[in-house]
Amino acid sequence: MRVACLQYKSYEDEKKTLNKIIPLIYFAAEKKIDLIALPECATFLNINKSETMINASFEKDSFSLKLIKETAKKLNINILIGSLQTLEYKMSKKKLFNRSFLINRKGDIICKYDKIHMYDVNISKYQSYKESKTYESGDSAKIAKLKVNGKYFKIGMTICYDLRFPNLFRDLALHGADLITVPSVFMHITGKDHWHNLLQARAIETGCYIIAPAQYGRYFNKRQSYGHSLIISPWGKILEDAKTDKNMIISDIDKNQIKKARTKIPSLYVNKTYKLN
């Protein structure tokens, strides 16, 4: 399977962002890509909860979802929407979810995943984030089954801050994931120290390919996303790095490499408990 990650900055207006990324999707399709992966908050990003709630949509009303589904069908290509800010009623109240969608070549949603771990952190005296004030957290891990070139690939779905919770990745791998997607808007302040290390560790621990499309740019509130979209092998080798100057990276996914990595170092299958004295 040939995979491409798109890297860009989402604007506050979804149609403006779509005008930028739809041509990139067309360009990727010309490269005979099987799966195109978009980053977290794929079509818009707002400064606070109130603005996000105004611009977010229910699935059935989402302009972004409708257009990308139509594009997938027209181009006969699978597309991962890293996430869309999606409204849903919960206990009769309107709630917001950070939701990832996997769309197949027919334009059908075959899997969707709500981000489980909220980015609630205190980076410094001047920088703190409380994502849980905006979003409801998901409550279940998801693995999609995608048929490409006569083979089935199992895709574990995560979003950004989920990266810091290795048990989630281990569980996805133990339930058959061949690759794990990590669409992100990873902040520069932590990205420069943690992004590459964490993604490589997750690949090594699980023996999975890691597909991490990320945003890059400066935003309205002086935040800066780190970029460096990555595709990493099951051995932990960085196959492609978009750094800060590429809109797209491409790599092939070989299931044989997954088997080789897990055979050489079978730590994934060791289930051991430890006593603390």
Alpha-carbon separation of residue 144 from 55, 104, 141, 152, 167 (angstroms): 28, 11, 10, 10, 18
DSSP one-letter code for 172 = H
Cα–Cα dist 188/207, whole Å: 27
Cα–Cα dist 48/129, whole Å: 11
Cα–Cα dist 180/241, whole Å: 16
User: Per the residue annotation, which of 69, 112, 115, 142 is the catalytic one?
Assistant: 115
Cα–Cα dist 5/82, whole Å: 10
Q: State the Cα torsion 257-34-31-42 to the nearest 10°.
A: -110
Q: In a 3-state reduction of DSSP, which class is residue 68?
A: helix
90 is catalytic: no
Which residue spans within the chain are E strands per DSSP? 2-6, 35-37, 57-58, 78-90, 93-103, 109-114, 120-122, 128-130, 142-148, 151-157, 179-181, 209-212, 216-218, 224-226, 230-232, 238-241, 248-252
User: Per the residue annotation, which of 5, 14, 40, 41 is the catalytic one?
Assistant: 40
115 is catalytic: yes
Cα–Cα dist 164/217, whole Å: 22
Q: Which residues contact 11 (CB under 8 A, 6 or more apart)?
A: 17, 20, 44, 45
Which residue in 46, 4, 8, 62 sits closest to 28, CA to CA? Answer: 4
Contact 191, 226 (CB under 8 A): yes
40 is catalytic: yes
User: Per the residue annotation, which of 5, 14, 41, 160 is the catalytic one?
Assistant: 160
Q: Which residues are catalytic?
A: 40, 115, 160
